[in-house]
């Protein structure tokens, strides 16, 4: 999926098209998402008017009137696109079509179906199970290396695993964890407990920088991810290490190494990262 920059790009992309519009029809073509859509999903949101769109971690929150919010997670392969004509009936991974007023269609596509949608009372959102254990937002000004240090210094796990743990800090997935550790010059397999305060300061700055730069580029497009407009993001062209096994480090020309951590590929430079 989409990590934080892709989710943020989706939110910014859909907001101007759906804000202040009314949901006039909901077509559930396949309710079998990671969390199955309830029978009454369509009935519960039809007729509502969209007020605001926000993001928490990698979750998209579409706040409507009547104290109702639609929560969307894109999993690994999900996308949300805006169409101004009825979508084709043949796209077998277009699982939910939300038709809004003024000929606007919000299409939820997710080939792997690791994502989900849920309807919640807006005032209950903080108690939504997926939200209760989320850590701080890395792009908040208040989030610093000190917060990161406090979140990870007691963990025995590798620093890369620690920063991908959504309880430490939200929004950092496999790509941006690799890229941030490269920018900070930290070896991904170091125990989190051994990372010094100056290093967490560098790492927090690197996380902020890589996430903000990626947002500025419209996110990264590898396989399925597209922006709400259907365009690709282009931050993938700025990767230093992710997906670059065997290619040369932009700093020192050492071939980029790959290791496996908790079942995920980690790319790094053995010379620049200690």
Partner DNA sequence: CGGCAAACCTGCGAGC
Partner DNA sequence: TGCTCGCAGGTTTGCC
Does 161 engage in binding with DNA (CB under 7 A)? yes
Please select the residue that binds DNA; options are 129, 141, 246, 274, rule is CB under 7 A: 129
Cβ(99)–Cβ(46) below 8 Å = no
Please tell me which residue in 55, 56, 58, 160 is annotated as part of the active site. Answer: 58
How many residues make contact with DNA (CB under 7 A)?
42
Catalytic residue list contains 244: no
Please select the residue that binds DNA; options are 43, 66, 92, 254, rule is CB under 7 A: 92
Q: Which residues of 34-51 are buried (b: 16+ CB within 10 A; e: fewer)?
A: eeebeeebbebbeebebb
DSSP result, 150-196: HHHTT--SBHHHHHHSTTTSSS--HHHHHHHHHHHT--TTSBGGG--
Catalytic residue list contains 2: yes
Does 210 engage in binding with DNA (CB under 7 A)? no
Nearer to DNA, 102 or 154 (CB): 154
Please select the residue that binds DNA; options are 108, 149, 182, 225, rule is CB under 7 A: 225
Contacts of 274 (CB under 8 A, 6+ apart): 185, 186, 187
Instruction: Give the DSSP H/E element, type plus range, for residue 198.
Output: helix 197-216
Nearer to DNA, 112 or 197 (CB): 112
Cβ(72)–Cβ(58) below 8 Å = no
Nearest to 191 by CA among 150, 221, 159, 147: 159
Strand, helix or coil for residue 73 = strand
Does 120 engage in binding with DNA (CB under 7 A)? no
Nearer to DNA, 2 or 145 (CB): 2
* Angle value at C-alpha 34, between 31 and 38, nearest 5 degrees: 40
Binding mask 32-71 for DNA (x = CB under 7 A): x-x----------------------xx-------------
Please select the residue that binds DNA; options are 21, 113, 187, 238, rule is CB under 7 A: 113
Q: Which residues would be at the binding site for DNA (CB under 7 A)?
A: 1-3, 6, 32, 34, 57-58, 73, 75-77, 92-93, 111-114, 129-130, 154-158, 161, 164, 166, 173-175, 219-225, 262-265
Catalytic positions, written as ranges: 2-3, 58, 264
């Amino acid at each position: 999926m989409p990590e934080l920059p892709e989710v943020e790009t989706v939110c910014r992309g859909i907001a101007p098209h759906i804000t202040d519009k009314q949901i006039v029809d909901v077509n559930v073509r396949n309710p079998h998402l990671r969390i199955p859509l309830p029978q009454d999903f369509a009935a519960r949101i039809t007729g509502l008017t969209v007020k605001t769109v926000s993001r928490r971690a990698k979750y998209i929150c579409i706040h409507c009137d009547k104290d109702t919010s639609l929560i969307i997670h894109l999993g690994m392969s999900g996308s949300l696109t805006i169409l101004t004509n009825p979508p084709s009936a043949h796209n077998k991974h277009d699982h939910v079509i939300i038709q809004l007023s003024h000929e606007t269609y919000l299409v939820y596509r997710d080939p792997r179906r690791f994502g989900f949608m849920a309807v919640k009372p807006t005032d209950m959102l903080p108690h939504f199970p997926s939200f209760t254990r989320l850590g701080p937002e890395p792009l908040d000004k208040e989030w610093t290396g000190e917060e990161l240090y406090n979140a990870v210094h007691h963990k025995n796990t590798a620093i890369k695993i620690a920063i991908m743990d959504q309880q430490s800090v939200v929004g950092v997935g496999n790509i941006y964890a690799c890229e941030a550790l490269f920018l900070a010059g930290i070896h991904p397999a170091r125990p989190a407990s051994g990372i010094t305060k100056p290093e967490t300061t560098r790492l927090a700055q690197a996380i902020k920088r890589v996430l903000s730069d990626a947002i500025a580029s419209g996110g990264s497009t590898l396989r399925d991810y597209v922006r709400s407009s259907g365009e690709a993001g282009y931050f993938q062209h700025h990767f230093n290490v992710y997906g670059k096994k065997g290619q040369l480090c932009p700093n020192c020309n050492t071939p980029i190494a790959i290791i496996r951590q908790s079942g995920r590929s980690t790319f790094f430079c053995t010379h620049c990262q200690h």
